[in-house]
Structure 1
């Protein structure tokens, strides 16, 4: 794992110190809200000084290359920099279910997931807690952690932050949600999502490349992109698939997801207050295949 090499040379500790400087004023995500989080103020996302999680454990519902036999060692972090009105995990993203974990506890969680046979450490919505996570990673490395690190995010990431994560993250698992700024503003309360996410995906691919599997089909390194198909084609699936093929890689691994369902505040938006149809899902798959016959579709 790349983070182990950085740990051994002292570079991981140096980068952790650099990340802590981004906590006050907070500049970890593209919102750059400027909250004084070390002093206890919470950012626009909801995150404060200490890491907060809603749950952790082996997860068998992730993409097959991330699961293996032991499951993905998933840690669900509370809060999110987006405000998706249809959030499928709104209890966590809005901080309804959460509890605080200090450095030692978070490190112990990582090590526990390794002990019970998980094939990776899957950090779900980690961006606003990167300094706290890296603090725990330093402790976990000292105590024998050696699993691939998965960065499971919304795609809304600062390039400056991603560059500091180079060689720390083994597997990037980003969403690519929308092709249109107006749609992003309407459903996720952020207008610059499309361009920010596109730039982020290109940087992630630069760092880790295509998904690499071991002899058992378990992911060791690389980029795996998620795209949630939405009712009425509002996500702009065809345009996003063309972008990935032309500007990320025509060999990309992509999960075209069909599990959208109207939850949280989706009832306020009649056009997305329903599940997608089989026809809409098949059209999304066809758009991906048309963009590149070499995509690895999950």
Structure 2
């Protein structure tokens, strides 16, 4: 996968930064792993958390520029530190030793070559946990194909199908077209989510969608697409925890929380479609 790294074409922006020479592209990161934190996370979906937590690794930087990012200190302000691949593998093994049920790679897109070198290294040393690819959905299909067989659980966040939204709030005008192709590729690799007898996710696709203030019709369009293109048995987490973080209040229309009525309108729509909703 290193052939995608420098000049960098790992994500749809194809900024072609020479990352192995110290350049950074849109994501803000060079060619080594850059990590903000790693710990057993108990705030994820129940099928990931179980009783031991999801072994979450937050990677620094991001290929999206969401003005409302709730992790902006990590994604935009680049809080974190560069480490070696061997250290990243050791982190994964430590999370397994702590009793976590999976390795949850948060915002891995722009660091994929280093991450999966570490995954292979950790597996050779005894890592047996499912690998979760937790991303914003702005993915290169060519790179995703390289991950076939390496990722057990894909967990993209489908943010919008609106070109206006994508341009204004994500700074990625082509996001709607890109995310559709990316999710279809993910689904072709892992299929619908499978859980074991303990209620823990083992393999498959999990989709997140954050309901945004004033954008309920966009949410409905996304949910209908999921049902029609992936099937009603698709695991979907319709989320209501939006709050105006980072630069959101530069845009008055999203400088508020989602109302109870907005969320219930979207959630009821998803329920009526028969989707497999996270609980």
Q: What range is the shorter-chain TM-score in?
A: over 0.9
2:49 to 67, 84, 109: 67
1:184-239 Cα distance to aligned partner (Å, 9 max, x none): 10001010101110111111111111111111100000101000000012671010
1-structure distance, mates of 2:67, 2:134: 20
Check if 1:202 corresponds to 2:202. Answer: no
> What residue number does 1:10 align with?
none
1:48-59 equivalences under 5 Å are 48-59=30-41
TM-score relative to the length of structure 2: 0.98
Q: Cα gap change, 1:235/1:265 in structure 2, threshold over 3 Å: closer, same or farther?
A: farther
- Asked if 2 retains the 8 angstrom alpha-carbon contact of 1:179 and 1:235, the reply is no
> What residue number does 1:88 align with?
70
> What residue number does 1:149 align with?
131
1:45-194 equivalences under 5 Å are 45-194=27-176
1:260-289 Cα distance to aligned partner (Å, 9 max, x none): 000100111110000010000000102212
- Asked if 1 retains the 8 angstrom alpha-carbon contact of 2:58 and 2:105, the reply is yes
Q: Cα gap change, 1:138/1:236 in structure 2, threshold over 3 Å: closer, same or farther?
A: same
- Tell me how many residue pairs correspond in the alignment: 279
Give the Å deviation of 1:296: 2.9
- Asked if 2 retains the 8 angstrom alpha-carbon contact of 1:179 and 1:239, the reply is yes
Q: Which runs of 4+ in 1 moved over 4 A?
A: none
1:148-297 equivalences under 5 Å are 148-233=130-215, 236-290=218-272, 292-297=273-278
SS class of match (2:168): helix
Give the Å deviation of 1:58: 0.2
SS class of match (2:207): strand
Superposed CA RMSD in Å reads 1.1
2-structure distance, mates of 1:279, 1:233: 12
1-structure distance, mates of 2:4, 2:160: 27
Unaligned stretches of 5+ residues in structure 1: 1-18
Q: Cα gap change, 1:234/1:282 in structure 2, threshold over 3 Å: closer, same or farther?
A: closer
1-structure distance, mates of 2:115, 2:250: 36
TM-score relative to the length of structure 1: 0.92
1:50-101 Cα distance to aligned partner (Å, 9 max, x none): 1101100100000000011110000000000000000010001014311111
1-structure distance, mates of 2:234, 2:95: 28
Unaligned stretches of 5+ residues in structure 2: none
